[in-house]
Amino acid sequence: METSSLEYRDLKSELPCVAVLATGGTIAGSAESSAQAGYRSGMVDVEAMIQSLPELEKIARVRGEQIANVGSQDMSFEIMARLSRRINDLLSGDDIHGVVVTHGTDTLEETAYFLNLTVKSPKTVVMTGAMRPATAISADGPLNLFNAVAVAADPQAREKGVLVVMNDRIHGAHSLTKSNTTSVETFISPINGLMGTVNYGKTTYFRAPSRRHTFLSEFSFEFDLPLPRVDIVYACADMPPDLIECSVIKGARGIVIAGDGNGNMNDVSVKMAASMAENGIWIVRSSRVPTGRVGRNVEVDDDANQFIASDELNPAKSRILLMLALLKNPTHDQVQDLFYAY
């Protein structure tokens, strides 16, 4: 276990430089009153967020940039690609020590995983957000942002891939998932556990990332949009198999099954997916269950059907990995290996 003490330095020029890239979300949200559930994401800009937190000046030299200002339900691959290019650009220089990305929490895990695959730097990238808008009673955004900047400025956070700091917890991009619609304790890292904790800027790390990421990743941040279409089909009892067929008719080159249990679906859907796989459509079996691995050839014959098992990735992250993998014109075995490696 490594613990660091937060340093407050007198000489401002000695402080690490952290770029805060804002994309919107509840952390930048505002409501008419401080005690209402309804609000609009992406209303406060990055300069206002930084100005409202003078404590940041004690731990880092902070520069803000507005990349987008959307609720993360509207996050797109165009914004993610722009964000990744900008982070790669900033971290390639000597002046920036780390980057913080503020983001809505709804799709934060997808952007975190996308950046984990496409940022080519050992320097620290930290994402954060908030569950309560800036105008709410006990807004959680300011402390989350303070802690995120402290982690981005902490030399011990280097080479750990993209980290997510929320509610005093430090998660890795590969593991974390949103688990509660409204609670400030929404993010969990169910399979591999927390990467660490941060308490008013003081960090403790428990483990290193278990999978390849960032500076060790083979995925480029330079690619043409749109990415190959990959859809997610949610399995359920008595599931109609024609949803798989519809996705293919609409242009999907791959389908991730959010399967029941260990990546299962009913027999008619297995047959439909197998007929699509025979025609070159990529079928990945993931799970709608929030934790646990999806293994090859457990109840479904992946070898015979040419399916991929998602291993530890949930459906949303499996989709991102498959979209980027398809840019490489891979073989079946290569795609399966990517799911084991990333």
Lookup result for tokens 């859809």: 231
Q: What letter does residue 311 receive in the DSSP assignment? A: B
Q: What is the DSSP string of 78-99?
A: HHHHHHHHHHHHHHHSSS--EE
Written as six digits, the tokens of 168 are: 């005093």
| In the complex, least distance from residue 60 CB atom to ligand GLU, rounded to whole angstroms | 23
Residue 26 or 310 having the CB closest to ligand GLU: 26
Judged by CB under 6 A, the residue of 44, 49, 84, 106 near ligand GLU is 106
Judged by CB under 6 A, the residue of 105, 111, 124, 144 near ligand GLU is 105
Number of alpha carbons in the 13 Å side-chain half-sphere of residue 34: 5
| In the complex, least distance from residue 143 CB atom to ligand GLU, rounded to whole angstroms | 15
- Residue closest to 135 by CA, chosen among 74, 52, 199, 63: 52
> Phi first, then psi: what are they for 111, rounded to 5°?
-65, -40
Q: At what angle do helices 315-326 and 332-341 cross, to 10 degrees?
A: 130
Query: Among the options 23, 26, 118, 124, which is catalytic?
Result: 26
Over the window 301 to 320, marking each residue x when it contacts ligand GLU by CB under 6 A and - when it does not, the resulting string is --------------------
Q: Does 25 bind ligand GLU (CB under 6 A)?
A: yes
Residue 129 or 201 having the CB closest to ligand GLU: 129
Sequence-separated (6 or more) residues with CB below 8 Å from residue 120? 88, 214, 215, 217, 221
| In the complex, least distance from residue 58 CB atom to ligand GLU, rounded to whole angstroms | 27
Question: Which parts of 113-172 interact with ligand GLU (CB under 6 A)?
Answer: 129-131
163 forms bridges with which residues in the sheet?
126, 172
Residue 106 or 311 having the CB closest to ligand GLU: 106
User: Which of the ranges 101-109, 111-119, 215-223, 298-306 carries the binding residues for ligand GLU, by CB under 6 A?
Assistant: 101-109
Q: What letter does residue 298 receive in the DSSP assignment? A: S
Question: Which parts of 37-96 interact with ligand GLU (CB under 6 A)?
Answer: 41, 71-73
| In the complex, least distance from residue 129 CB atom to ligand GLU, rounded to whole angstroms | 5
Residue 128 or 336 having the CB closest to ligand GLU: 128
- How big is the site for ligand GLU, counted in residues (CB under 6 A)? 12
Tell me the CA distances in angstroms from 86 to 16, 93, 99, 120, 125, one per residue in order: 19, 12, 10, 11, 12
Active-site annotation holds for 26: yes
User: Which of the ranges 98-106, 157-165, 246-254, 312-320 carries the binding residues for ligand GLU, by CB under 6 A?
Assistant: 98-106
Residue 76 or 92 having the CB closest to ligand GLU: 76
Number of alpha carbons in the 13 Å side-chain half-sphere of residue 238: 0
- Closest-by-Cβ residue to ligand GLU is 104
| In the complex, least distance from residue 210 CB atom to ligand GLU, rounded to whole angstroms | 27
| In the complex, least distance from residue 178 CB atom to ligand GLU, rounded to whole angstroms | 8
Residue 114 or 219 having the CB closest to ligand GLU: 114
Neighbours of 103 (CB within 10 A): 33
| In the complex, least distance from residue 99 CB atom to ligand GLU, rounded to whole angstroms | 19
301-307 contact pairs (CB < 8 A, 24+):
304/274, 305/270, 305/273, 305/274, 305/277, 306/274, 306/277, 306/278, 306/332, 307/273, 307/274, 307/277, 307/283
203 forms bridges with which residues in the sheet?
198
Catalytic machinery residues? 26
Binding site for ligand GLU (CB under 6 A): 25-26, 41, 71-73, 104-106, 129-131
